[in-house]
C-alpha cells in the first residue's frame, strides 16, 4: 500500500460564484431547522436539558491530579487504533473525541461534544453538525469541518471494515463552512443514522498529510481528547498525560471526569502475573473476570488490612452472546445438525457448580440480559416479519426459541449424548471404534483457538464430553498478537468470543451477522453467518422508527440466529467485580447502569481517604445549571 497523497479540501471548495450559490441553495433548508443539544433514538427523551451542569453519576467536585496506574494483558505495536493492521495500545481512545457523547445509563440519547449542536432534517435525509468554536487538537490546531470530512473519508475507505459497514448509509459529507458539516444519507428510512454519525471520531487532517493512514504508527496523532501520549514503550507500557489547557475541560459533559493528571498502562503476559502485580501494589485497580480467583486469590495482607477494597456491582448492561463460536466457513461445521449436537455436549450446570461457584448465568439469546432477547411464542409483529423474510421457516421460528441443552449438574451427560449421536448420524457421521467418521472414514476433528490458558480448565471437561460423543477437539493456545491476527482473518475452526450488544441495536448488526460481513476480514461475523433472512431482518432493524417496530425486528433476528446454532452458549456475570487500592483511588458512590465509569474516578493520598470522605455521595441535585451554582470549585491536587 502506497503512502497517501497530500489531500486537498473536498467538494466544499468551489470555483465560480454560480457553483457557490447553487451549493448554498441546496444546503439552506438544512440550516433552517431547530438546533438541539442532543440526538435521540426511538422516542427517547434527553434526561439532561440544555444548560445541564454535569452527568448525574459523577462527583462534580472530584479533585484533579495524581496518577492512575492500570494493568493490561498482551502487548501493542501501534498508536493507530483505527485500522486492522497492528495491535493498538490500550486507552488510546482518551486522546480522541467524537462529535457527540453518551451518558452512562441513559439509553438512546447522545449529547453534543465536538459538535455543540445538531440539526436533523424532518424527513430524515440529512444531519447538520455545528462544531464547538473552542475545539482544539492537542497541538493547538482548531477542529474544523474539513477534519470531520477527512475523518469520515479515511475511516470508511481505509479504516477497519467496521466503519465502512457502520456508515454505509451516509452518501456524502460536506463542509458547509469552517465549523459546519452536513451528512447526507442514502435513505430516509435509517432512523439511527443521525445518532451514529454523532459517534464519529474526528482525526487531525493536518497531521496525516504525507503519512500512510493504512499503516501502523509509532507516533501518536494529536487528538482533541483530554490526554496525549507522553511515552510509548511497545512491549511494556504506555503513559498518557492530561493535555494542558484542554479545550473541553469546562464543558458540562466532562465535569467530574478525566481527573487524573497521568494515566499509565503497564503490560503483562497473562492474567495470573497481572493479578499478582496488582496485589503487590504495581497498579491501582483490577477488574476480576475469573470467578475462581475472586474467591481464592485475595486472602493477602493488603486485602485483610483494608488497603485493597473489593466490590461486586450489578451492571444491568446488555450482554449479547458469548461462548465457543463455530466457524461455518469450515465444511465440518456447515450442517446445523452438527452444530446443535456439539453444543449439547457443553455441561454448563456442572461447570458453573464445580468451577464457577454458581456465580454465572448462561447466555440464552444473542441479546441476553436485555429487553431484546426473544422469549416465548412470537408476537404477531414478529410472525409477520418471519413470514415475509423466511416463509418456509416461519412456523418453526414462531415457536419458543430453542434454549441451550440443560444437564443435571452431576457431570453425567449420557441422556443428552444419545440425542447428539442421533443428530450426528442424520448429518452423515457414524460411530466407528469410538470415533465419529464420515463416509470416507475421515474422523470428526477440529481445533479450538484460545488466547489464554485460563480457559483450559473450562475447555478440558468440554473436550472430554466431546470425546464421549466420538469427536476429537484439539486446543491451541497462542499469544495475543497471533490470536488477533488469526481471528481477523477467520483462520480458526472454533474460537471463544463474545458478541456484545448495545442498548440500541442498529447499524452495527451488519458487521455481526450479514452475508457481506462474512467475507470481510476483520468483521465481527466470527461464525460466517450467511442467511438472506438475517440480512433482511438486519435492514428492518436499521429502518425501525419506533420502539415497538425495533423490538419486533430484533426479536425476529434473535429467533433466526438461535435456530442456526452458531455458538455453544457460554456464561456471563450480571455484576462487575472490581478490586482497587482505596488508599490511591476512589469513585463516586453512585454507579450508573452499564457498570463502572472509570473516567469518573480520582486520585487520593494514603490515609486521606477516610479523613476526606472521598467516597461520599456526589452533590445532590438534578445536574442542572442551578445545581452547579450551589457547588464549590474542585480542589487541584498535584
pLDDT in tens, 376-401: 999 999 999 999 999 999 999 999 99
User: Quick one: which of 72, 80, 95 has its CA closest to 237?
Assistant: 72
Domains and CATH numbers, the chain: 17-47+75-208 (3.40.190.10), 321-572 (3.10.105.10)
Beta bridge partners of 115: 131
612 has pLDDT over 90: no
Percent of the chain with pLDDT over 90: 79
Please write the tens of the pLDDT for every residue from 6-40. Answer: 333 333 333 343 343 334 344 444 344 689 999 99
142 has pLDDT over 90: yes
pTM over cut 0.95: no
Mean pLDDT calculated for residue range 236-242: 97
Mean pLDDT calculated for residue range 259-286: 96
Please write the tens of the pLDDT for every residue from 81-120. Answer: 999 999 999 999 999 999 999 999 998 999 999 999 999 9
Cβ-Cβ contacts under 8 Å for 463 (sequence gap 6 or more): 473, 475
Please write the tens of the pLDDT for every residue from 172-213. Answer: 999 999 999 999 999 888 888 999 999 999 999 999 999 999
DSSP 8-state class, residue 95? G
Give the whole-angstrom CA distance, residue 233 versus residue 340.
46
Give the whole-angstrom CA distance, residue 314 versus residue 454.
24
**Cell representation of residue 411:** 457431570
Give the whole-angstrom CA distance, residue 464 versus residue 590.
45
**62-66, 169-173, 252-256, 630-634: range with lowest mean pLDDT:** 630-634
Give the whole-angstrom CA distance, residue 167 versus residue 195.
11
Please write the tens of the pLDDT for every residue from 305-346. Answer: 999 999 998 888 999 999 999 999 999 999 999 999 999 999
The pLDDT assigned to 189 comes to 84
Percent of the chain with pLDDT over 70: 90
Cβ-Cβ contacts under 8 Å for 299 (sequence gap 6 or more): none
The pLDDT assigned to 33 comes to 61
481 pLDDT band (50/70/90 cuts)? confident
Between the CA of residue 4 and those of 8, 81, 82, 208, what are the distances in Å? 12, 18, 16, 9
638 has pLDDT over 60: no
Amino acid at each position: 500500500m502506497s503512502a497517501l497523497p497530500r489531500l486537498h479540501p473536498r467538494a466544499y471548495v468551489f470555483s465560480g460564484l454560480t457553483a457557490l450559490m447553487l451549493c448554498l441553495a441546496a444546503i439552506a433548508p438544512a440550516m433552517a431547522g431547530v438546533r438541539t443539544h442532543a440526538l435521540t433514538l426511538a422516542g427517547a427523551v434527553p434526561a439532561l436539558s440544555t444548560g445541564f451542569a454535569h452527568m448525574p453519576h459523577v462527583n462534580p467536585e472530584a479533585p484533579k491530579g495524581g496518577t492512575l496506574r492500570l494493568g493490561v494483558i498482551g502487548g501493542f505495536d501501534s498508536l493507530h487504533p483505527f485500522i486492522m493492521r497492528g495491535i493498538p495500545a490500550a486507552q488510546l481512545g482518551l486522546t480522541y473525541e467524537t462529535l457527540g457523547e453518551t451518558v452512562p445509563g441513559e439509553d438512546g440519547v447522545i449529547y453534543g461534544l465536538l459538535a455543540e449542536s445538531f440539526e436533523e432534517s424532518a424527513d430524515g435525509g440529512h444531519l447538520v453538525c455545528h462544531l464547538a468554536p473552542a475545539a482544539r487538537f492537542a497541538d493547538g490546531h482548531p477542529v474544523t469541518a474539513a477534519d470531520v470530512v477527512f475523518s469520515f473519508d479515511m475511516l470508511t475507505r481505509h479504516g477497519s471494515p467496521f466503519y465502512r459497514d457502520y456508515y454505509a448509509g451516509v452518501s456524502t459529507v460536506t463542509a458547509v463552512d469552517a465549523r459546519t458539516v452536513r451528512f447526507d444519507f442514502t435513505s430516509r428510512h435509517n432512523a439511527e443514522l443521525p445518532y451514529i454519525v454523532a459517534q464519529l471520531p474526528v482525526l487531525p487532517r493536518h497531521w496525516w498529510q504525507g503519512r500512510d493512514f493504512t499503516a501502523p504508527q509509532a507516533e501518536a496523532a494529536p487528538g482533541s481528547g483530554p490526554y496525549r501520549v507522553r511515552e510509548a514503550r511497545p512491549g511494556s507500557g504506555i503513559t498518557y498525560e492530561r493535555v494542558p489547557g484542554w479545550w473541553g475541560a469546562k464543558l458540562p459533559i466532562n465535569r467530574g471526569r478525566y481527573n487524573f493528571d497521568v494515566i499509565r498502562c503497564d503490560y503483562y503476559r497473562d492474567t495470573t502475573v497481572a493479578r499478582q502485580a496488582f496485589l503487590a501494589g504495581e497498579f491501582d485497580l483490577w477488574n476480576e473476570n475469573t470467578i475462581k480467583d475472586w474467591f481464592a486469590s485475595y486472602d493477602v495482607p493488603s486485602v485483610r488490612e483494608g488497603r485493597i477494597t473489593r466490590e461486586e456491582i450489578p451492571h444491568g448492561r446488555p450482554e449479547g452472546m458469548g461462548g465457543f463460536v463455530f466457524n461455518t466457513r469450515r465444511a465440518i461445521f456447515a450442517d446445523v445438525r452438527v452444530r446443535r449436537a456439539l453444543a449439547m455436549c457443553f455441561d454448563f450446570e456442572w461447570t458453573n457448580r464445580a468451577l464457577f461457584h454458581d456465580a454465572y448465568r448462561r447466555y440464552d439469546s444473542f441479546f441476553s440480559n436485555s429487553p431484546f432477547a426473544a422469549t416465548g411464542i412470537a408476537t404477531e409483529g414478529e410472525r409477520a416479519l418471519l413470514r415475509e423474510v423466511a416463509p418456509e421457516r416461519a412456523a418453526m421460528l414462531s415457536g419458543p426459541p430453542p434454549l441451550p441443552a440443560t444437564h443435571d449438574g452431576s457431570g453425567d451427560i449420557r441422556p443428552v449424548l444419545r440425542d447428539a449421536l442421533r443428530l450426528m448420524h442424520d448429518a452423515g457421521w457414524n460411530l466407528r471404534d469410538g470415533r465419529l467418521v464420515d463416509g470416507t472414514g475421515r474422523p470428526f476433528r477440529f481445533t479450538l483457538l484460545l488466547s489464554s490458558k485460563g480457559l483450559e480448565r473450562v475447555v478440558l471437561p468440554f473436550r472430554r464430553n466431546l470425546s464421549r460423543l466420538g469427536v476429537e477437539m484439539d486446543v491451541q493456545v497462542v499469544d495475543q498478537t497471533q490470536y488477533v491476527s488469526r481471528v481477523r482473518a477467520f483462520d480458526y475452526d472454533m474460537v471463544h468470543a463474545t458478541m456484545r450488544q448495545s442498548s440500541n441495536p442498529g447499524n452495527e448488526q451488519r458487521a455481526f451477522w450479514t452475508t457481506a460481513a462474512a467475507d470481510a476480514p476483520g468483521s465481527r461475523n466470527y461464525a460466517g453467518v450467511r442467511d438472506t433472512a438475517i440480512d433482511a431482518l438486519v435492514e428492518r432493524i436499521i429502518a425501525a422508527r419506533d420502539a415497538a417496530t425495533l423490538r419486533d425486528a430484533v426479536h425476529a433476528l434473535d429467533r433466526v440466529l438461535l435456530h442456526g446454532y452458531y455458538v455453544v452458549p457460554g456464561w456471563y456475570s450480571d455484576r462487575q467485580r472490581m478490586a482497587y487500592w482505596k488508599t490511591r483511588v476512589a469513585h463516586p458512590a453512585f454507579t450508573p447502569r452499564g457498570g463502572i465509569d472509570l473516567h469518573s474516578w480520582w486520585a487520593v493520598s494514603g490515609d486521606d481517604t477516610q479523613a476526606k470522605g472521598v467516597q461520599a455521595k456526589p452533590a445532590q441535585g438534578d445536574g442542572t445549571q442551578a445545581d452547579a451554582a450551589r457547588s464549590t470549585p474542585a480542589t487541584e491536587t498535584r
